Structure 1
């Protein structure tokens, strides 16, 4: 197939799909599809609430259109699926968005088409679940009538340095020829280069362990934080000292939220248990990180008691709500758990986060404020390391005798009553 004939449909226009659609539109005709009509209206008006793509980027090409109508992507011959892959309340993989997207694409599939998945899954899901849906919906055969690719996303929300084109892209295909074809396609937009995995399962597993490795490393730091706190040692001072060795990995303790690190390990755990192996290290790391919000609240309550401040009816300011710094992403943010636990003690909570879209905050049903009051709060918790907070002095929000807890180790040590 010559390049001029390639037409791409990107299914899912979130943090992953939108930058991908914009990048491919520099070379091909691209239609971005999303079931969220409000999202389509925003993008058509050249607005991106994720702040991953600028208004200028959305206007710079006439090869990119957006739609919520399936009929508008029927003429595509390359479908790239970038929908979320969350877990349910029991931390079991929830493939429903992926299944729905596969059913949609399967109903449109034509002989010769290629379907590429970017969503994070457990090894075997793309071929074992998605390909079967595509075949059943289209009556077409894999590697005979249509072809399958897998190239796991590596988007880091809010990161303006490690962007789509500057991160090496892992690619794979349902057969060697398709792998080459998928590789050639992504080479058009990935300046950092590509890595062709030998199989789709290898590519799936590689993505899953990337975030699982981070989860384990953060869990180690969280356990050190708990241990050294009991020993009366500042864990951040310990980490700074250890980091002077060339091969020390400088992770820091904290809450683990977001769409990947707190989710992907469960996909590996699920598939491994299904096959009869019960992973211990990964499971323990998840348990430690899942419990960090409770641990933080316990530390805060003990600190308040030490300072002779009552948490009941206390005026509390939480600085930051997103799951990470300098990013509007609220997915799986653990700060919500801290708010809810403090509310159980009837504390009067206000959350201040200049990165959060007001409409998104309403969906979380959190008590947001855009103008924290000075000399007002009994407790201020710095929960997210936004740049705006780095350049401010949160002590101005405290009333006389108020307590400042630094969850991120962002503030000068002499300013805070305690830091994680």
Structure 2
């Protein structure tokens, strides 16, 4: 398979061209013939014009690439090596939503031929590739795994907004349905990944490795969030505590914060779901999720307390929220906990102004029903800096004073500033 792909006798198809699929497709298109497939025709039209709908990639990366963008599933018939990079979110009840993954499996199954490969990159729970996706591939194609085609799993490790650790510079885990599949898949990915390839012993191991990467980060942050809540009750600055404790050689410096996005705030639910299906109710993972999901409510109530302490009515308060994307310097607003914080504040009848230089006003309105204003006004009772965009890091206390009225409150959720003014109330997680 590898040699046929390299000689462009066969093609690679990437299914799902979001923040994961598009960079992979363009990287492969340096060396192979690639079909880039997405069900969203508008996104396909943008990519044909050399535009990244996720605003992560420069237009120059589309140049001199052997890639054909399409929204027509019939075009998948021309491919022999399929890579699935569709989203795997959770629904309103925190249950894994496999509809995009199942849909992609049906589309590939209809195009599957003898000798083909199917590799999944979407984050799933251990067992999903073989237990949920494989039966669809076999039913749609009439083919049998091993005898007719092979599968694999290679978890995505894209880091949005990171211009240093690009896709080729991040170690890649691969796995296959048998030894031959593992070697072929490793060779194909090895052509574009300069950081190296790690061969997992089984598909389930590779799936589990991916889901615990973000579960571990989620739990680490939840510990710091819980400590921040406790220390706030004690009147102790959490960042000062962390800096002091960090002087010990084996203390790991981690910081509290809002946990959103499509990875850390989502992946643990996949592991929770699978564990419960097996009859085990995880305690630690669930507790971590509960703490992190509850942080917007904690911050909102803390601000209300501070407003009341200053003799201000929350119903008459005007608050500026700076940042709604799920992390700094990206446009992605999926699963933004800032949106939850805005709605928590609005539940107290607080007037909230929302700004973000990276977010799309249309997407914010469509996804959360919130209005993004062009620029801050004046006379705010409080300002909450919720995302660490580079442009915000250059601001100082005097700037915030200039847009606030008497008895101002600055809530610094990223711990970016130092309070040097006695006539401003400074609070951070």
For structure 1, the residue ranges without an aligned partner over 5 or more in a row are none
Alignment of 1:142-157 (within 5 A): 142-157=145-160
Alignment of 1:324-403 (within 5 A): 324-363=327-366, 364-373=368-377, 375-392=378-395, 393-403=399-409
Pairwise CA distance, 1:242: 1.8
Q: Distance in 1 between matches of 2:380 and 2:270?
A: 41
Q: Please, which moves more after superposition, 306-315 or 391-400?
A: 391-400
Q: Distance in 2 between matches of 1:381 and 1:59?
A: 41
1:6–1:77 Cα contact (<8 Å) kept: yes
Q: Distance in 2 between matches of 1:413 and 1:143?
A: 64
- The SS at the match of 1:74 is helix
Q: Distance in 2 between matches of 1:243 and 1:163?
A: 30
- The SS at the match of 1:23 is helix
Q: Distance in 2 between matches of 1:406 and 1:399?
A: 18
1:405 aligns with 2:411: yes
Q: Distance in 2 between matches of 1:124 and 1:10?
A: 22
- The SS at the match of 2:221 is helix
1:19–1:52 Cα contact (<8 Å) kept: no
- The SS at the match of 1:414 is coil
Pairwise CA distance, 1:98: 0.3
Pairwise CA distance, 1:278: 1.5
Pairwise CA distance, 1:88: 1.2
Pairwise CA distance, 1:405: 1.1
1:218 corresponds to which of 218, 221, 242 = 221
Pairwise CA distance, 1:41: 1.1
Q: Distance in 2 between matches of 1:409 and 1:16?
A: 30
Q: Distance in 2 between matches of 1:60 and 1:303?
A: 57
2:160–2:330 Cα contact (<8 Å) kept: yes
Q: Distance in 1 between matches of 2:219 and 2:420?
A: 31
Q: Distance in 2 between matches of 1:165 and 1:320?
A: 30
- The SS at the match of 2:86 is coil
Pairwise CA distance, 1:394: 3.1
Q: Which residue of 1 aligns with 2:230?
A: 227
| TM-score, normalised by the number of residues in structure 1 | 0.97
Cα shift readout 1:211-251 (whole Å, capped 9, x = no counterpart): 00000000000011011111111001111122233332221
Alignment of 1:185-334 (within 5 A): 185-334=188-337
Q: Which residue of 2 aligns with 1:55?
A: 59
Cα shift readout 1:313-344 (whole Å, capped 9, x = no counterpart): 32211000011111111110001111111112
- The SS at the match of 1:413 is coil
- The SS at the match of 2:89 is coil
Alignment of 1:56-135 (within 5 A): 56-61=60-65, 63-135=66-138
Pairwise CA distance, 1:118: 0.1
Pairwise CA distance, 1:146: 1.0
- The SS at the match of 1:252 is coil
Q: Please, which moves more after superposition, 271-280 or 195-204?
A: 271-280
1:349–1:367 Cα contact (<8 Å) kept: no
Pairwise CA distance, 1:28: 0.2
1:49–1:357 Cα contact (<8 Å) kept: no
1:135–1:141 Cα contact (<8 Å) kept: yes
2:13–2:81 Cα contact (<8 Å) kept: yes
Pairwise CA distance, 1:35: 0.7
Q: Which residue of 1 aligns with 2:15?
A: 11
2:84–2:104 Cα contact (<8 Å) kept: yes
* Compared CA separation, residues 13 and 395, structure 1 to 2 (3 A): farther
Q: Which residue of 2 aligns with 1:23?
A: 27
2:44–2:71 Cα contact (<8 Å) kept: yes
Q: Distance in 2 between matches of 1:218 and 1:394?
A: 28
Q: Alignment length, in residue pairs?
A: 418
1:221–1:251 Cα contact (<8 Å) kept: yes
2:126–2:204 Cα contact (<8 Å) kept: yes
Cα shift readout 1:101-121 (whole Å, capped 9, x = no counterpart): 100111111111100000000
Q: Which residue of 1 aligns with 2:427?
A: 418
Give RMSD over aligned pairs.
1.2
Q: Please, which moves more after superposition, 16-25 or 272-281?
A: 272-281
Structure 1 segments, 4+ long, off by >4 Å, are none
